[in-house]
Amino acid sequence: MNACPSKGRLTRAMAIAALAGAALLLVACGKQEPGTSAKGKGPAGAPPAMPVTVKRMELERVPISIEVVGQAEGSREVEVRGRVSGIVEKRLYVEGAPVKADATLFLIDRAPFEIALAQAKATLAQERAKRELAQSEAERLKSLVQITAISQREYDGAVSQLKQSSAAVEVAEARLADAQLNLSYTNVKAPIGGITGRALRSEGSLVTANTESALLTTLTQVNPIWIRFSLAEADFERIRHAEKRVQVRISSQDAAGSAANGRLNFTGSTIDPKLGTVQLRAEFSNSDLKWLPGQFVKVLVLAGEQQAFLVPQNAVMQTEQTRMVWVAEADGKAVMRPVQTANWIGNDWIVTKGLKPGEAVIIDNLMKLRPGAVVQPQVPGAASTPAPSSPDKAAQKAAPTTADR
């Protein structure tokens, strides 16, 4: 009997051994460190920490400021109207140019009013002559009644005639004054100094007193200029008890269009039920005519100082109900926090409620964040802190290898 194994049996044994070795190799290659993912990036199933930039919150003294849009208007605005009827003969001003008070702007045909004045003068002279005659007659009859040469009735009639003549003189004097006044109204003058508007009636137009045709132009006093604006009820409450200390400024990117010399000269006593706002008005010096009536400007209202946090505007998110920020908590997780804002200074929101000193507000990667997400905070300008390695990896690095031994 041959002791050597047959060739077929030997071949099957070698195949089985090869398959067993391949299986052991696959098991060895697929082995991974306990507690880690297949890629070795942290605890099994957990995403890596997201690096984010944060700003540490510190209380700062900031001004109580409110920025709104206001509209300029003249401190005095008047309509220049013809006070007598007649034909406009001439316009004596340049449209849109400044004029002084009492400057003549239009001339209305004087001829009818000069004739009326002459008639009034003649009537007055006639009535004065009648009064002189009545006075002489009364004096003459007075001496006669004393000696009973005439009856008392005749004398009383003469005295009554004198009184009627005196009254007629007064009426004639009033008519003369009226005629003189109407003649003066043919020179249409500026009631105030200011900027003229366009002429609404040209030469040759008929002006009828006390009608719309009597409106000739408008005149606006722009120095000082008034800025009218509105504040929301909540903003008004912040300055309500400090109106005497309130400063009003005009804010502009152009220094020539800015001003810090405003003062409140009107505060509304009611709140608009539809808009929930209060009307206010500030007065500014405008000697160089920087602002014109109707112009829109940015108004900055300052009412003292307050302690608050400054948060970059890009870190504050707006919702329908409130404003929110992302905060990196001590456990390394991101949470959303509602905050109350007042206004902004430069590129920062003024946050009055919702944050505490030392908290880290996330200012970038906001769209990638989710509540409870693990983050790796980094302060701008500081070296980033590497994420801690897992305990298993640290122990593996510390353990000597077979080659070291």
- The answer to whether residue 38 sits within a structural domain is no
- The answer to whether residue 25 sits within a structural domain is no
- The answer to whether residue 216 sits within a structural domain is no
With 0-12 / 13-18 / 19 or more C-beta atoms within 10 angstroms meaning exposed / middle / buried, residue 86 is buried
Residue that is last in its domain, among 185, 200, 233: 185
Give the model confidence (pLDDT) of 328-378 as tens digits: 998 989 999 999 888 778 788 889 889 999 999 999 988 888 898 999 898
Same domain for 374 and 247? yes
Distance from C-alpha of 187 to C-alpha of 290, rounded to nearest angstrom: 32
Residue that is last in its domain, among 135, 158, 185: 185
Distances (CA, A) of 194 to 79, 101, 191, 331: 12, 8, 9, 68
- The answer to whether residue 163 sits within a structural domain is yes
- The answer to whether residue 116 sits within a structural domain is yes
Same domain for 318 and 248? yes
- The answer to whether residue 16 sits within a structural domain is no
Q: Number of C-alpha atoms within 13 angstroms, CB side, residue 63?
A: 14
Same domain for 69 and 116? no
Residue 27 has pLDDT above 60, yes or no: no
Structure tokens at 396: 């593996």
- The answer to whether residue 214 sits within a structural domain is no
Q: Which residue has the higher pLDDT, 193 or 381?
A: 193
Distance from C-alpha of 57 to C-alpha of 347, rounded to nearest angstrom: 16
Amino acid at position 223, single letter: N
Residue 258 has pLDDT above 90, yes or no: no
Give the model confidence (pLDDT) of 306-324 as tens digits: 889 999 999 999 888 889 9
The angle, 0 to 180 degrees and rounded to 10, between the axes of the packed helices 152-184 and 111-146 is: 160
Structure tokens at 60: 């700062």
Give the number of other CB atoms < 10 A from CB of residue 172: 21
Domain total for the chain?
A: 2
Same domain for 235 and 376? yes
pTM score, whole prediction: 0.61
Distance from C-alpha of 5 to C-alpha of 11, rounded to nearest angstrom: 10
Structure tokens at 275: 């808009």
Same domain for 159 and 56? no
Same domain for 145 and 228? no
Give the model confidence (pLDDT) of 213-239 as tens digits: 999 999 999 999 999 999 998 888 878
- The answer to whether residue 329 sits within a structural domain is yes
Same domain for 180 and 289? no
Q: Which domain range does residue 167 map to? A: 110-185
Indicate which CATH number applies to the domain containing 295.
Answer: 2.40.420.20
